[in-house]
Each structure stands twice: as C-alpha cells, then as structure tokens.
Structure 1
Amino acid sequence: MPEIAEVARVVNHLRRSLVGKTLKTVATQDDTNVYGKAGCSAAEFSKALTGKKVLEANRQGKYFWLVMDSPPHPLMHLGMTGWVHIHGDKSMVRKSKPKDEDAEWPPKYWKFVMETDEDSKMEVAFKDARRFARIRLLDCAAADIRNTTPLKENGPDPVIDTDVFTEEWFMQKMISKHVPVKALLLNQANISGIGNWVGDEIMYHAKLHPEQYSNTFGATELKQLYNSIRYVCQTAVDLLGDSSQFPDEWLFNYRWGKGKKNAATKLPNGAAITFLTVGGRTSCVVPSVQKKIGPVTADVKGGEAVTISGGSEAEPISKPVKRKKHIAKASNCSSFEEESDEDVKEKDPPAKRARARKPPAKIPPKK
C-alpha cells in the first residue's frame, strides 16, 4: 500500500511533469467510490480542472494535491492500490508489477487522464483497481489547503512538519494515549504518512515491540522511537520509495514472505521473523530484537493479554475481543491482506471495550 515514501515519489514526478503547464484535457471515468465518497464526481472534476494551469504539487502524509491557478484544487489519496502513471515514463512503473503494466494507455482501472497543451505534451493517469482511493476538490485558497478537511484532521508529517513534530510533542502524544504503540503510529490523526511497512520498520529500528502500550515506555525508549520515526521516514522519502536503494539491514527487504512457499522466515543473521495482529493490522516482528519491556496486548490473536514484570504500572487488561477482518473484494485483481488505513483509528484497550459495550460492536464500514 502506498505510504509516505511512495506518495513523495508521486509528487516528485508530478512536479516534473505537470507543474508550470496547462491542462488541455481532463478525461474522467465516474466512480461512486473514488469520487463519490469524497463528495465529488468525475464530471465536476473534469470541468473544474480543464484549461487550468498547474502551479505546484505538494503532499502531507499519504495525501497529495495540485495547486491550480485558481480554485478548486484536486486532493488525492492512493488508498490501497492507487497509483499515478506518466505516459512513457518507465520510472513510475512499480518494480513489483509485471513489466507490461504500462503497455496499454490509459492504464487499466484509470480514473482520470490529464493531458497538457504544450508542444512537449505530457499525459498523466490516476488508476486504482480496488477503488479505495479518494479524489476530491478543495474550493479554497491555495494557502488554506492544509487547513481544510481532511488535511486539518490529520497529524503532522514527520518529514515536512519538523517544527511541529518535535521530540517533546511526540513524547506528550505517546503518554497521553493508552493504545498499542503500532496502532498509535498508524492513526493518521496522530502522525501523517506512516502505514504498515513504515510502522514495522520504525518499530524494528527502535528495537521496541509493536504491542506494548504507548504510555508504558520510559524516556529513553521514547527518544529512541522518535529518532527512528525521523530516520526511517526521512530516508524513505529521500529515496522516493525506491526499495532497491533501501539500506541492506532494513526489515523491508525480508518482510514480504508471509504465506508464501519457500519464503524466508529469518533474517540473514538467523533472527526469526514472526507476524502478529496489532491494531487490526498484520505486523512483522523480530522477537529477538524487539523485546517486550512493559504491558502489551495479546501475544496471539484471540489469546490472553499479558503484563511483563518490571514495566510501568497499567490498568489490568482483560481478554481482547475478537474482531472479524473485513476484506473488500474487487474483480480481476489479487487479494491483499491489509485493509486501507486512510481511516485507521486507535482501538481502545480490551478491558475498556468490554466495559463500554456488550456485545462487542462490529467494525464500522469504511468511509
């Protein structure tokens, strides 16, 4: 799923391809999910942008947008399988996809295709097979884009908002919550841009366990985690999500084998790789590195929660409530184990959930 680094890659290419140019045509295909759930329509999108000049391309976390010469401005989120293609630019074809992915134009599952009117014509397409992406229009001044919904409800970006995302701010955020730390990182209302693989990389680099509750870490561990967030996010963004350039020691290089035949279950040094469900998401963990030093959620999905001796005091934790995982279906596309985290929310501690409602509530439908 595209995260902070992949979105940085998209924005980098949009700056090279569209900024400073006028959109001659904007062809669209209506989609009640991609456009409709964001309060827009394909026809409105096309009408609003055709003939406009693109002044800037920017991002915050997993959201990115184009600044036009007059409102409205398009704001986009890639969801699970969304991507931006530039006709003839092979650097935007993801390495994990077949070599002929960009053979047809527009690409399969396209939602819009923009064409510039310059002599050196550029064509940019937005595609999404599983339809979790969101495309909307923001009718505001360019300077107010980040103060507009949904961006204003999202937390600071650890790469571009270093004036806000300080060590002190992060420590206060951590101790103010009582949720598994991985769930806190994935909640975009706390920090923008961290998704599943980035979250796992951060936890591995910090040598901390993703199940441990956020307010049970000491100052040393919090500083370590903050530095890991800054390091992993900045490095991934600087490399524009090009995994071939990621450091050899990163967990990213070894984490994709779950459920695959003959896949590696260990790091090159022999350390075992395991998978847990934390905050409703699959987490890749190296137990010999990521030690439990405080209260944690269930070690195994549906198992008993435990408290590690020597950790900070915390309220007793009861047996967690089992929840069914909702997997969206789409025709002609392979299944994905991870759901979209555009709307990831922190889960209350199991004991609190059990007291608050009986029987357990169902997971609300995605917006």
Structure 2
Amino acid sequence: MPEIGEVARIVNYLQKHLVGKTLAVVKAQHDDIIFGKVGCSAEAFEKALTGKKVMGARQQGKYFWMEMSSPPHPLMHFGMTGWMNIRDEETAYYKPDNPKTTNEWPPKFWKFALQTAEEPKAEAAFVDKRRLARIRLIDCVASEIRKVSPLVQNGPDPIVDKEIFTEDWLGAKLASKKVPIKALLLDQVNISGIGNWVGDEVLYNARIHPEQYSNTLSLEQVKQLHKSIQYVCGFAVDNLADSSKFPEDWLFKHRWGKGKKDSATKLPNGDKFVFLTVGGRTSCVVPSVQKKTGPVAKDVENEAEENVKSESEEEEKPAKRKRVPKSKDRKRTIDEESEPVENGDFNGVAHNEDEAEQASKPASKKRKSNGKAKIEDAKAMKINDRRRSTRMSGKGL
C-alpha cells in the first residue's frame, strides 16, 4: 500500500511533468466506487480540470492533490493498489524481477488520463486494479485545502508538519490513548502517512514492541520513537520510496517472504523476525530487540485465561471419598453418597467422562427409589440371617 514515501514519489513526478502546464485533454471513466463513494463523477472531474493550469502538487501523508488555477482541486488517495503512471517515465517504486513492457496507453485499469497543451506534451494516468482508491474535488481556495474535510480530520504529516510534530506533541498524543502503539501509528487521525511497513520499521528502529500500550511508554521511549518516525519517514521521502536505496538492515529488505518456501526469517545480523497480528494488521517483529516494557492487551487476556484455567483445574480435582463405617449405618451412608447429582453436573465441571455421561442420564435410571432399595436390603438381611442360623445349627450338630 502506498505510504508517505510512495506518495512523495508521485508528487515529485507531478511537479516535474505537470506543474506549470495547462491540461488540454482530460478524460475520465466513471467509477461508482472510486469517484462515486466520495460524491464525485467522471463528468465533474473532466469539467473541473479541462483547460486549467496546474499550479502545484502537494501531499499530507497518504493524500495528495493538484492545485489548479481556479477551484475545484483534485484530491486523491491511492488506497491499496492505486498509482499514477507518466507516459515514457518509470514511476514504479519497486522493480519487479521480470518487468512486463507495454506501450499501451491509457494503461490498463485507468480511471482518468491527462495531457498537457505545451510541447513536449506530458501525459499522466491514474490507475487502480482493485478500486480501493478515492478521487474527489475540493471546492475552496488552494491554500485552504488542508482546512476542510477530509484532510482536516487527519493528523500532522511528520515531514511536512515538523513544527507541529514535535516530541512534546507526540508524548501528549501517546499519553492520551490506551491502545497498542502500532494501532495508534496506523490511525491517520493521529499521524498522517504511516502505513504498515513504515510502522513496523519505525517500531523496530525504536526498539518498541507493537503490542505495548501507547500510554505506558517511558519518556526515553517517546523521545526515541519521535526520532525513529522522523528518520524512517524522512529517509523514505527523501529517496522517493526507492527501495534499492534503503539500508540493508531495514526490515523492509527482508520481510516480504511470509508464507513462501525458503523465505528469510533472519536479518543480516542474525536476529530472527516473526509475524503477529496487531490491530487487525500483520506486524513484523524482532523479539530479541523489541521487548515489552509494560502491560499489553494480550498479556491481560492471557492472565485472565490463566486464572480461569486454575479455577477449572481446582474444580476438576476428585472429591475425597467419605469413609464408609462398618456399623449398621453402612446402608444409610451408601444411600446418601449415591444420591443423583443436582442439574446433572459436578459443581459445573464433570470430573471425568464416565461421570459426565452418568450425570446426563435421567435420575430414574441411575438408581432405584429409596423405598424399593430398603425393601431389597431388608430381604437380603433376612436371607443372610437364615444362612447364619443354618450354619450355626450345622455346627451344633
């Protein structure tokens, strides 16, 4: 997904090829999602840009826009797979092993295409295969774009807004929320531009575990996190997301083989990295470096599970059997012990499978009624008495 560095790359190409030029041809294909979801249309887009001069190109995090000679101005977001192609220019931020060359224009999955009036003519096209991008028009003066929705709802850009994104500002933001730090970084309402891979790189550089609660970080950790955000984001922006220029010890260089056979599981220094899910997103973590220094949500859940487990184990311990006296009270005691278990369970937990199965049977099948048991016991006692009398009589003879 294009993040702060990748968007900076496209803004650079727009400034290079379109800024200062008039758009002579504007074509758009209506898409109910890309245009329609944000109240725009292909017709409105064409009308708003045709014949206008591009005065500038800017960005705030993952959003970017072109400032036109008069309102409205196009504001764009790439989503997961959106991108801008410039004809006869390689804009891709990564180089596939087997690049497929094509002279097709407009390119496949295009949503709008532009052509400048000036020679040499420049052509650009917005593409998106999965239709998760968004294209809208902002009707205000160019200098006010960041003061209206949706940009006004988003947090500061750590590179563009360095005067806002200070160490003190970050510390206050972290302290005001109790969420996993990775989730906080990914929420654009807090900070603009940080996506999944940037968030992981930042936390690895700062030696902070992604699951740790944001409000548990020490002052030293906040200071280091601020430095790491500026370093990783700054490097990505300065190098226009050209991954070939990224340091070899970055996670970015080694993390992309998840689930693939013989994929890397260690960094060049030997540190092992693993993957876990934080805030619904896959996170790449180096456990030997990113230690938990405070409670996290998973720890609390695990503690609760352990308590439940201990209680269950205690309940499952077999009850002590009562001593059966040898006196005439033996029958009564056995009857008391063999009473059906109420509600078919043993304090809520079956002690073993046999008892659980027996407990689920109707009480009438578990034992005979007390009255019948007493009659049978009385008969048995009479029979035993007669036998004893017979034996004693035999001995007497």
Partner in structure 2 of residue 336 of structure 1: none
Partner in structure 2 of residue 61 of structure 1: 61
Match of residue 305, structure 1, among 297, 301, 305: 301
Q: Percent identity?
A: 61
**CA–CA distance in 1 between the matches of 2:155 and 2:167?**
14
Q: CA deviation at 1:274?
A: 0.5
Give the match's secondary structure for 2:14: helix
Partner in structure 1 of residue 265 of structure 2: 265
Q: CA deviation at 1:119?
A: 1.6
Contact 1:296 1:306 in 2 (8 A): no
**CA–CA distance in 2 between the matches of 1:318 and 1:67?**
58
Contact 1:159 1:234 in 2 (8 A): yes
Q: 1:138 to 1:318 in 2, by over 3 A?
A: farther
Q: CA deviation at 1:289?
A: 0.7
Q: CA deviation at 1:97?
A: 7.5
**CA–CA distance in 2 between the matches of 1:139 and 1:317?**
54
Q: CA deviation at 1:219?
A: 0.4
Contact 1:48 1:72 in 2 (8 A): yes
Q: TM-score when scaled to structure 1?
A: 0.81
Confirm whether residue 212 of structure 1 aligns to residue 208 of structure 2.
Answer: no
**CA–CA distance in 2 between the matches of 1:158 and 1:147?**
17
Q: CA deviation at 1:249?
A: 1.2
**Amino acid corresponding to residue 305 of structure 1 in structure 2:** E
**Amino acid corresponding to residue 298 of structure 1 in structure 2:** K
Partner in structure 1 of residue 31 of structure 2: 31
Q: CA deviation at 1:298?
A: 2.4
Q: Any residues of structure 2 matched to 1:206-285 within 5 Å, and which? A: 206-285=206-285
Contact 1:86 1:92 in 2 (8 A): no
Contact 2:61 2:192 in 1 (8 A): yes
Contact 1:52 1:68 in 2 (8 A): yes
**Amino acid corresponding to residue 113 of structure 2 in structure 1:** V
**Deviation by residue 1:46-94 (Cα, 9 ceiling, x = unmatched):** 1110010000000000000000000000000000000000000024474
**Amino acid corresponding to residue 151 of structure 1 in structure 2:** L
Partner in structure 2 of residue 15 of structure 1: 15
Q: Any residues of structure 2 matched to 1:1-367 within 5 Å, and which? A: 1-92=1-92, 94-96=94-96, 98-100=98-100, 102-298=102-298, 305-306=301-302
Mind listing any 5+ residue stretches in structure 1 that lack a counterpart? 308-315, 320-367
Partner in structure 2 of residue 361 of structure 1: none
The count of corresponding residues between Structure 1 and Structure 2 is 307
Give the match's secondary structure for 2:298: coil
Q: 1:93 to 1:6 in 2, by over 3 A?
A: closer
**Deviation by residue 1:97-150 (Cα, 9 ceiling, x = unmatched):** 852255421111100000001120000000000111000000000110010100
Mind listing any 5+ residue stretches in structure 2 that lack a counterpart? 308-397
Q: 1:159 to 1:97 in 2, by over 3 A?
A: farther
Partner in structure 1 of residue 321 of structure 2: none
**Deviation by residue 1:175-221 (Cα, 9 ceiling, x = unmatched):** 00000000000000000000000000000000110000000111011
More off after superposition, 169-178 vs 101-110: 101-110
**Amino acid corresponding to residue 163 of structure 1 in structure 2:** E
Partner in structure 1 of residue 332 of structure 2: none
Moved over 6 A (4+): 316-319
Contact 2:93 2:241 in 1 (8 A): no
Q: 1:102 to 1:63 in 2, by over 3 A?
A: farther
Q: CA deviation at 1:297?
A: 2.7
Higher relative contact order (CA 8 A, sep 6+): 1
Q: CA deviation at 1:43?
A: 1.0
RMSD (CA atoms): 1.8
**Amino acid corresponding to residue 193 of structure 1 in structure 2:** G
Contact 1:9 1:240 in 2 (8 A): yes
**Amino acid corresponding to residue 201 of structure 2 in structure 1:** E
Contact 2:94 2:242 in 1 (8 A): no
Q: TM-score when scaled to structure 2?
A: 0.75
**CA–CA distance in 1 between the matches of 2:41 and 2:305?**
46
Give the match's secondary structure for 1:57: strand
Q: 1:210 to 1:317 in 2, by over 3 A?
A: farther
